[in-house]
Structure 1
């Protein structure tokens, strides 16, 4: 397609150029020949021999000799001198001397006018130049007509057109060859793609970029913004930074402190960095764009941190729910296996005693929780954690110093599950290597403040780490995927506008005290 279109452009250009040049040259050739005829006729009209011959019959023969010499020297069709009656005094055919001039276009020159015309005479059609002849007193005594054959004019024009045609053909040949190599070079530069394919890919990539949920901003090597997708515009709008069209603007004018231009200088990516855009927290990845080992720009992808926190917290909550249900299911299956064994052994009295004991324990354990914690979701979660701890052979004791009402906002329950779940899981891990695997969880609700205390008798936390354990990725334990639980706890506490304190001694245990504002709801479900 590229070869075809380039060749077509070359062909059309050459045809138009040839036509214009041919017409222009034809006009120029005709004008040049007219000028030649005019010059010759003027030379003859000013010749003393011609003037004397017209004034003196004895010298008329000199006119014929002179005009034949001029005709041969200038290569014109004829040079005819006539008197005021239009009678020829010279002619290429001497037999026609003395006869009237033929053509009918000589009348104006006999009235003293100089001009050119086209007409047909005894020698055929020609371009003619007429010039009056004056004596020394400026009295007209005759006229001269110089003719150039139109066949000669047309031959010159045709020869010129052939030259143009040959030149155009050669130009077309080289143009086609050039088009072929140009098309190959262009296609090689465009990875062998045709223009329509490039346009389709461009539109597809554009739609992909704008469909991405993450914000995307790209800059060129001059730090000018070249791309801002819809999600990036939404976040910039939220931050109040979209006052004008960002495309084509320097990155620091739109996003001061974003430091995307620093990537151009360093040429190294910066991943998962928390940044602040005029009060909006984001998590960004900034990467250089490298082509042929040269940094040609940089691109940043980012997402509203609030959205990411919500997603992480939701996933954490779901994981905790699933783990709690799994623990309860596992404990229930164990109890069923015990009952099945007793029944097969026909120990029916033992079956009755086991069920009674199990029911009493369940009523005591579950009833104690449900009587004090009025939120059924949070109560169920705590019961599930007790089952999970029992499965891990950990004694998890939960006590409520006061009744805990149901919250006015159900979202608070979700945050409390994140807080309690992560801290209890940490406590269970801390006591696993101890002989006494005891954990105590205490709740109290006073003056619209909920206090939660989780104390274990585990390994403890080094003093130098107690300030850093709430930082993402920091953990007192070894292993991958560590350092996220307490980070989420800290974020949930901050979201509820509460506080968290940690008290720990090595090999003695750790206690977390969480205090959060807690607005009670309309009542409890019994």
Structure 2
């Protein structure tokens, strides 16, 4: 059975890694200090002992005293040297190792004990450990010569071995305390560093970050909008596949990453967004012959603008999508009105059935069928396009539901079109004009809408006339602006769509001067009929 591998969090991992590095460095430092720094105090004392011994050996009083056998002067001098230099002992011997001085005066005249003075008796300096009357010591041996260059004795300077060890141990613990303080500071720094890193990445774990990046990449590459991001120097730092495709369509095929956006797309003006910190919405920008609809926004971190991002899409695609949506809404509205009218008739039939009024029911159904057949017959005779005919039947139901009469002129005629897209645009034109007339006649006494189609030599004239309050002269140019409406918020799309569809069909839209009351819109468009209807 396999054990699941334990995964540590980022903070724990960073802390352990930094602490591990700090401990490794401290161990290396301890090894270096152990070999170099910790022994230094002992070595310094040894060098001190040798230096004192050399100095004493050069004093004439010592060589003269050894030559004359005068130990009193030597004892007095060496006692002062011992006290002033804080050493264990200074012993002067002759060539027979007989002491001429010693901290314990009772030992003067007796042979030196501890040994290892043979090398010094041969005229060479030496250093050794030994055991004497005063305990274990470190001893420096220096030969003494008289004025003629003949060796007459030795100077032996001793240091307490226990004291040297105590100084070395003290130095060792000082080093250890410093290293432990470094370890504590290193661990604290590791914890602070781990917390800082964690805060910088919004308290997320590496696995969460990698997942987020994968999701971000998938989202950027799958979106239908082109996306380009720039840094604070306006250089491209991110671009998705759709943006690359649109740039290729515009003839820009070179590598754009890390390039100034002004060299790639001057009209985008992202430098202005970076400078002002304000975004730009729904810009129509031309790029080498194609029109793109772009939205630019600044990227802010802690209140500072660090870059900008732009999303854009081919305006042609957006226009086609809007047209589909507007057409679907028109069809759906017509179907809803027809279904509502049909349900009302079913309720009447159900009520008369329950009441047993079968004769009246038969008369009602006959009248309804006759009216419906008359409507269908009239529309199919005058409107040869089945899509427009079905649409107008739905609008008849809608206007009847609203208590309004939708009248088609007796000489109204619409031949079938060879291009279905033209009928779609006509439905947008007629549907929105009728809807505006319905809204305008809510409070009108004479609720009548007149619809006229006239075809003549490749042109179709469509007229929608109502008997509402009409349109104020001051508003006659504003009514075609997208979003402008006198009916409240989230309105002002109908006449904008009408004018756009008319322009798409290379036509002309007019609002005729008012005749007493109401509004009359006339749209003239190019219209090619099917060959079998010419």
Query: Structure 1 451/46 Cα, relative in aligned 2: closer, same or farther at 3 Å?
Result: farther
The alignment status of 1:42 with 2:50, answered yes or no, reads no
Q: Which residue of 1 aligns with 2:169?
A: 158
The equivalent of 1:364 in structure 2 is: 377
Structure 1 residues 401 and 422: CA distance shift in structure 2, 3 A? closer
Matched, 1:30 2:59: no
Equivalent of 1:329 in 335, 339, 343: 339
Q: For residues 492 and 315 of structure 1, what CA distance do their matches in structure 2 show? A: 14
Kindly provide the CA deviation profile for residues 371-423 of structure 1, in whole angstroms up to 9, marking residues without a partner as x. x21xx54543343234333434232428445332353xxx6665554344323
Calculate the aligned-residue CA RMSD, in Å.
5.2
Give the corresponding residue for 2:519. Answer: 509
Q: Aligned pair 1:397/2:397, yes or no?
A: no
- Matched residue SS, 1:50: helix
Distance 1:129 1:500, change over 3 A: farther
Alignment of 1:109-508 (within 5 A): 109-110=120-121, 112-114=123-125, 117-122=127-132, 123-136=134-147, 138=149, 140-161=151-172, 196-197=203-204, 211=219, 243-245=255-257, 258=268, 272-276=281-285, 278=287, 279-284=290-295, 286=297, 302=311, 304=313, 306=315, 308-336=318-346, 341=352, 344-347=357-360, 350=363, 353-354=366-367, 357-358=370-371, 360-368=373-381, 372-373=384-385, 376-392=386-402, 393-397=404-408, 399-405=412-418, 407=420, 414-430=424-440, 433=444, 435=446, 437-442=448-453, 444=455, 451=460, 453-458=462-467, 460-462=470-472, 465-475=475-485, 477-492=486-501, 496=504, 498-506=506-514, 507=517
Give distance in 1, aligned partners of 2:455 and 2:519: 22
Answer yes or no: is the 8 Å Cα contact 2:226–2:246 preserved in 1.
no
Q: Return 5+ residue gaps in structure 1 as ranges.
A: none
Q: 1:271 to 1:523 in 2, by over 3 A?
A: farther
**What is the TM-score with the length of structure 2 in the denominator?**
0.70
Structure 2 CA distance for aligned equivalents of residues 136 and 468 of structure 1: 127
The CA deviation at 1:120 is: 2.6
Deviation at 1:40, TM superposition (A): 0.7
Q: Report the Cα distance in structure 1 between the residues aligned to 2:320 and 2:460, rounded to whole angstroms.
A: 23
Report the 3-state secondary structure (helix = DSSP H, G, I; strand = E; otherwise coil) of the residue aligned with 1:505.
Answer: coil
Instruction: Give me the whole-angstrom Cα distance separating, in 2, the residues matched to 1:173 and 1:497.
Output: 81
Change (3 A) 1:194 1:333: closer
Task: Decide whether aligned partners of structure 1 residues 388 and 42 sit closer, same or farther in structure 2, where only a CA change above 3 A counts.
Answer: same
When normalised by structure 1's length, the TM-score is 0.71
CA contact (8 A) 1:37 1:128 kept: yes
Deviation at 1:466, TM superposition (A): 4.2
Partners of 2:407 and 2:300 in 1: CA distance:
54
Say whether residues 1:53 and 2:57 are aligned partners.
no
Per the TM alignment, residue 29 of structure 1 is displaced from its structure 2 partner at its CA by 1.2
Deviations 1:69-124 (A, max 9, x none): 322321222334455676655444563756366343752x4555445x44234255
Distance 1:359-1:26 versus aligned 2 partners, 3 A rule: closer
Deviation by residue 1:326-356 (Cα, 9 ceiling, x = unmatched): 1112333344456664982414773575266
Question: How many angstroms does 1:323 deviate by?
Answer: 0.9
C-alpha separation in 2, matches of 1:103 and 1:490: 123
Cα deviation, 1:489-510, whole Å, max 9, x if unaligned, reads 444556x563443242234633
Q: Structure 1 residues 461, 39: closer, same or farther in 2, change over 3 A?
A: same
Three-state SS of the structure 2 residue aligned to 1:388 is: helix
- Counterpart Cα distance in 1 of 2:320 and 2:426: 14
Q: Is the 8 A contact 1:405 1:523 kept in 2?
A: no
